[in-house]
């Protein structure tokens, strides 16, 4: 989930959370910045929230300027990727000669690199299992170091705990969608999924227009202006979960009572 795909088919080496590995990236390495090129980089709602604020843009502006939008052909879920334009080597738009210009707010995949993290869920027990692997790319010199840490320590050192928590909330929503809406989401649900999670500034405006009038109390709606973006994203997760639990039969029943 958190790591991007590349065209160079890197070796994926499974590793446990308490297993040590050697890695250290720094300016001056011959490969510095190479991992920021040739990207097919998926962005999570949390990533977009952090980056758009770092750039002092609205979510709508950020999505228009820096991303490419897709819809999962079988799921109907939005898929947002980082746009790289037509520049040779397809570099990240935030890559500069001195490094990443949004480094403190970089996407989760960049934050975890070279660690890849994936989550699997048992459909019968609903228990989740977390898997880790090291991404070993041929060009990377970061592994040529004596500096050692465990995966768990790396996550803490890269301040990745909160991004991981928020990204796992998205996985919970996807599991909920698969449970109540197998197949592709209808267009109406595609829109609210995308707005509430990926376009927070538009979501805030829509709430003020009455989008959540049957979900929020009047007091909660009045407190909207005091709510920061991460709190708004939490609200978006709650509302999307509420809407996904409305199966077609329940939606028809709700409509008939109005």
CA distance 115 to 150: 10
Rounded CA-CA distance 187/52 in Å is: 26
For residue range 64-117, list pLDDT tens digits in order: 999 999 999 889 999 999 998 777 778 999 999 889 999 999 999 999 999 999
Q: What is the pTM of this model?
A: 0.89
User: What's the rounded Cα separation, in Å, for the pair 25 and 43?
Assistant: 22
The three-state secondary structure class of 130 is strand
- Asked whether the predicted pLDDT for residue 222 surpasses 90, the reply is no
Question: What is the rounded end-to-end Cα distance, in angstroms, of the chain?
Answer: 40
The mean of the pLDDT values for the chain is: 89
For 158-200, the DSSP string reads TT-HHHHHHHHHHHHHHHHHHHHS-SPPPHHHHHHHHHHHH-H
The pLDDT-based confidence of 249 (bands split at 50, 70, 90) is: low
- CA separation for the pair 113, 2 (Å, rounded): 9
């Amino acid at each position: 989930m958190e790591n991007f795909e590349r065209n160079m088919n890197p070796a994926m080496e499974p590793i446990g959370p308490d297993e040590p590995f050697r890695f250290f990236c720094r300016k001056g390495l011959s490969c510095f910045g190479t991992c920021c090129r040739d990207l097919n980089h998926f962005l999570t709602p949390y990533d977009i929230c952090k980056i758009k604020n770092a750039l002092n843009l609205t979510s709508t502006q950020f999505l228009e300027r820096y991303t490419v939008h897709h819809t999962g052909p079988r799921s109907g879920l939005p898929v947002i990727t980082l746009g790289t334009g037509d520049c040779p080597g397809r570099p990240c738009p935030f890559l500069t000669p001195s490094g990443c210009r949004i480094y403190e707010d970089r996407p989760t995949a960049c934050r975890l690199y070279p660690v890849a993290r994936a989550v699997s869920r048992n459909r019968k027990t609903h228990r989740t299992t977390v898997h880790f692997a090291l991404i070993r790319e041929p060009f990377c010199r970061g592994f040529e170091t004596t500096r050692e840490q465990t995966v768990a320590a790396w996550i803490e050192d890269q301040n990745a705990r909160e991004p991981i928590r928020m990204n796992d909330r998205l996985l919970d929503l996807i599991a909920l969608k698969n449970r109540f809406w197998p197949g592709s989401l209808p267009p109406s649900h595609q829109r609210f999924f995308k707005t509430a999670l990926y376009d927070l500034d538009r979501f805030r405006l829509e709430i003020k227009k009455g989008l959540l009038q049957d979900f929020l109390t009047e007091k909660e709606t009045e407190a909207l202006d005091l709510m920061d973006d991460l709190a708004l994203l939490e609200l978006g997760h709650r509302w999307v979960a509420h809407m996904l639990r409305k199966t077609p039969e329940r939606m028809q029943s709700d409509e008939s009572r109005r």
